Amino acid sequence: MQKTLLVIGLVVMAIGLRSSRTPMIRKLGALLFLVTSFLAAAFIAHCWWAGVLGLVPWLMLPWVELLTRIRRLRLPGDNRLRHRELPDPSFFPHAAEAAMDLEEYGFEHVGDCDWEWSGMQQYLQIYWHPEEMAEATICLCEQGDVAFSFLSMTSRDRSGRILRTTNFPFSPTLKCPPHMLWNHVPCERNSVELILGDHHRFLEKCGANSETLMVPDPDSIEDSIEAEMKCQLRHNLEEGIIRPSHDQEGTFEYSTRGLFFLWRQFVKDMVRLC
């Protein structure tokens, strides 16, 4: 009975920690769930190695999604941005504040567009800043009843590198080509001031400065976004992450290697627990 009450108490404590708004406390709650799983399995089998096996279901949990929904996904090979009116940004966390902050920092609005990726609707608000030599994109994502937003800062240098800082809350679902460098910052850094500062430090780390960076052309930013995606799809096709689907012409699907890649990305997200 003492062991049972200990496990129940740890579960209640973990749920309480996970309800906190502080990221570190939420991570502590997730760690406590793992400890509880270990102890519960060890108490039942009366040996420590059974506790280790009790952690395995947490690592295998992503495969439920991978072998059901993800395996049936078909990605368009030639996805094009469409110009259309965006939904009310107030439904997307931090989106309205980010738009106002960008204008306060001198970014100019270029346009609004969207595209769909396998059931997820992505709306893009595109900005540029000639002095910063950077593009900024507020991405509003909507899938079913789930809605979130994130902010990206992008600079391009004369050697063809694409340097991007983003607070996208998940790990990338496709590999990035070598010339696309992604600076992934925590999603709680959702203000323009913080992300712009992170982007400046990232550019310095990569050896990019005002002499090597290119001033964005506001008329070609949308074309550049489409070209990036096509390049990324080709790279993942070469890497064996995706393959042409046989049942829908002009689309791609995740290969077996791609499913294992996504599993590693899911595990990273579970550890990071943004």
Pairwise pLDDT comparison (89 vs 238), residue with the higher score = 238
Range picked from 83-87, 128-132, 185-189 for highest mean pLDDT: 128-132
Q: What is the mean pLDDT of residues 28-57?
A: 74
β-sheet bridge partners, residue 253: 243
pLDDT reading at 117 higher than 70:
yes
Kindly state whether residues 149 and 129 are assigned to the same domain. Answer: yes
> What is the DSSP code (8-state) at residue 39?
H
Count of domains forming the chain? 2
CB atoms within 10 A of CB 103: 13
Using alpha carbons, list the distances in angstroms from residue 27 to 9, 30, 170: 18, 5, 15
Regarding whether 95 and 44 lie in a shared domain, the answer is no
Same domain flag for 166 and 254:
yes
Let me know whether 28 and 160 are in one domain.
Answer: no
Output 38 or 181, whichever has higher pLDDT.
181
- What mean pLDDT comes out for the span 26-40? 75
Residue 66 lies in a domain: no
* 18 and 78, same domain (yes or no): no
Specify the residue for token string 């507020």: 138
Pair 242, 139 in one domain = yes
Look at residue 272 in the predicted model and tell me its pLDDT: 66
**pLDDT per residue as tens digits for the range 240-270:** 999 998 877 888 999 999 999 999 998 888 7
Residues 146 and 212 grouped into a single domain: yes
CB-based contact 254:70 (threshold 8 Å): yes
Name the token pair of 236. Answer: 């993942």
Do 123 and 163 fall into the same domain?
A: yes
Helices 23-45 and 2-18, packing angle to 10 deg: 160
Query: In the chain, at which residue ranges do the beta strands (DSSP E only) sit?
Result: 75-76, 108-117, 120-129, 134-143, 146-156, 162-166, 180-184, 242-244, 251-254
| Average pLDDT score over the chain | 85
Q: Which of 29, 60, 91 lies at the terminal end of a domain, its last residue?
A: 60
**Given a cut of 90, is residue 116 above it in pLDDT?**
no
Identify residue 155 by its one-letter amino acid code.
Answer: S
Among 35, 60, 85, the domain boundary falls at 60
- Alpha-carbon gap, residue 254 to 241, rounded angstroms: 6
Q: Considering the domain boundaries, does residue 126 fall inside one?
A: yes
Instruction: Give the residue numbers spanning the domain of 21.
Output: 2-60
Average pLDDT value for residue range 231-239: 94
Nearest to 138 by CA among 109, 179, 116, 118: 109
What is the SS3 assignment for 64?
Answer: helix
**206 and 119: one domain?**
yes
**Residue 79 lies inside a defined structural domain of this protein:** yes
What is the predicted pLDDT for the residue at 85? 75
- The 10s digit of each residue's pLDDT in 201-230 is 999 999 999 899 999 999 999 999 999 999
| Domain-embedded: residue 201 | yes
- What's the pLDDT at 274? 47
State the sign of the Cα–Cα–Cα–Cα dihedral 26, 28, 34, 40: negative
Single residue among 12, 40, 60 that ends a domain in this structure: 60
Asked if residue 128 and residue 237 are part of one domain, the reply reads: yes
In a domain, 146, yes or no: yes
Q: Is the pLDDT of residue 23 over 70?
A: no
In a domain, 65, yes or no: no
pTM check: above 0.75: yes
pLDDT band at 16 (very low <50, low <70, confident <90, very high): confident
